[in-house]
A = this chain, B = another copy of it.
Amino acid sequence: MTQTSVDVQQQPSGTQTEGAGVSVLPELPVERGSARKPGEEESTSVSNLDRWLARRLLAATGRLPIAIELWDGEQLTVSDESPRFRLRIADRAALWLLAFDPDLQFGELYSDGRLEVEGGLLEFLETVDRALPLSHSNWLSTFIRRARRWLRHNTLARSKANVHHHYDLGNDFYKLWLDEQMLYTCAYFPRPDCSLEEAQVAKMDHVCRKVRLKPGDLVVEAGCGWGALALHMARHYGVKVKAYNISHEQIVYARERARAEGLDDRVEFIEDDWRNIRGTYDAFVSVGMLEHVGPENYRLLGDVIHNCLKPEGLALLHSIGRNVAYPLNAWVDRRIFPGAHPPSLRQIMDILEGWQFSVLDIENLRLHYAKTLEHWLARFEDHVEFIRDMFDDRFIRMWRLYLAASVASFRTGGLQLFQVVFTHPLNNNIPWTREHLYRD
């Protein structure tokens, strides 16, 4: 597989850029080159139809400063500005695949090294995302928009099969780029310059305060990952926790942590599905599971919460979301992430309305997730040589695309992060204001 210049590595890794604006890159030096594999047969020569297709593809992005470099080294642009990004397309088939099925092919071609992005992968994705959301449709821009959607879906929605596949990657892989407590969900940065470790602890406290934990409470957590939040609650809030997860590997890991800390009498990790939650609790929390539940199960999730939440209990759902629901691309739904879906607030109401749950508080932490992902991406790149010993180049390119596209989506509003606090409709034992979240 071709090793071309790797875009994100051009950025200083390990350091965090401030905020979530678009970086303005210095103008690109124009280098001639080809993404073609060395020693391979020369691609067929470029036809006028190829050029027309490439130009339409560029025009559909709203004439952004992007050049396409075709397989013979020919460069095309439809922008009046000097290009800040160059898409290097390795062969005619790649161009046509990209044009006609970008939903599928952007990620496939990028992963295979048949599509290269120069000028910074993250910046490219962010620039395209920022330009497209509200542009007018034509047949090609619709393709591009579907490509953008695909990126988002592909990188952030994960089917159960994919979840298991991801976990089969092993804890050692995640330890290389997650925080030390292994939280694989959006952190909360009280200040933008907090470390990832600080921000993950702050996120756990933010959640605990939102559901107003008090000593002696019994808490249920749906989808507990490697167990950090459940352990944090028991350790710092004096509560007992039942934490559900269908991942055997994570449950085993979490149980070991509980034993090592002497918290196994207060935190029970249960290898089971949220549908099988039993008992009644003072608080229900779920951080980063809802994306995998699927809208078709929202009513059922509402039933489960209704049944397990005490009359004065508070519930919190923390989930990636959208400003408006996108229909899931059929291929993604079938092959990549069956059943996964970042919901819009409208869709979240499907969980809540059946039992007339009262929404007390919704907070959007979109830029906090962009920053969390910046940390992960930087740590990933810092450890890419270790990772290369574990996985092949295609895996690294996929993972890089996943992280970079996620940063871009959170920066440009294609994805949101909602924390929704709610309770039974008749519960008046609710926080009088939200000031208690910000004390200390």
Contacts and interface: CB of A to CB of B under 8 A. Distances in A.
Interface residues of A, number: 47
A360 interface: yes
Given A323-B425, A361-B363, A425-B413, A356 B134 contact: yes
Contacts of A133: 356, 425-426
A427 B20 CA distance: 10
A356 B425 contact: no
A190 B433 contact: yes
Oligomer: number of copies: 2
Contact of A356 (B323, B357, B418): B323
A428 B413 CA distance: 9
A18 B199 CA distance: 38
A346 interface: yes
Contacts of A319: none
B21 A130 contact: no
Nearest to A370: B428
A366 interface: yes
Contacts of A190: 433, 435
Contacts of A191: 432
A411 interface: yes
Contact of A358 (B21, B323, B425): B323
A141 to B, nearest CB: 16
Contact of A363 (B19, B21, B367, B434): B434
A352 interface: yes
Interface in A349-382: 349, 352-353, 355-364, 366-367
A323 B352 contact: yes
Interface string A410-430: 011100101000000111101
Interface string A184-206: 00001111100000000000000
A19 B434 CA distance: 17
A189 B428 CA distance: 16
A410 to B, nearest CB: 10
Contact of A426 (B360, B367, B413): B413
A358 B364 contact: yes
A345 interface: yes
A139 interface: no
A349 B344 contact: yes
Nearest to A433: B190
A345 B349 contact: yes
A46 interface: no
A390 interface: no
Contacts of A323: 352-353, 356-359, 425
A93 interface: no
B324 A353 contact: yes
Contact of A428 (B21, B188, B357): B21
B428 A367 contact: yes
A220 to B, nearest CB: 22
B413 A367 contact: no
Given A134-B425, A323-B356, A345-B359, 16 more contacts: A20-B428, A21-B428, A133-B426, A134-B355, A344-B349, A346-B346, A358-B364, A359-B416, A360-B364, A363-B434, A412-B425, A413-B425, A433-B438, A434-B437, A434-B438, A435-B438
Which A-B residue pairs are the 3 nearest by beta carbons?
A: A413-B425, A362-B362, A323-B356
Interface of A: 19-21, 130, 133-134, 188-192, 323-324, 344-346, 349, 352-353, 355-364, 366-367, 411-413, 416, 418, 425-428, 430, 432-435, 437-438
18 contacts: A19-B428, A20-B428, A130-B426, A133-B426, A188-B433, A344-B349, A345-B349, A349-B349, A358-B366, A358-B413, A359-B362, A359-B416, A360-B363, A360-B364, A361-B364, A362-B362, A367-B432, A412-B426
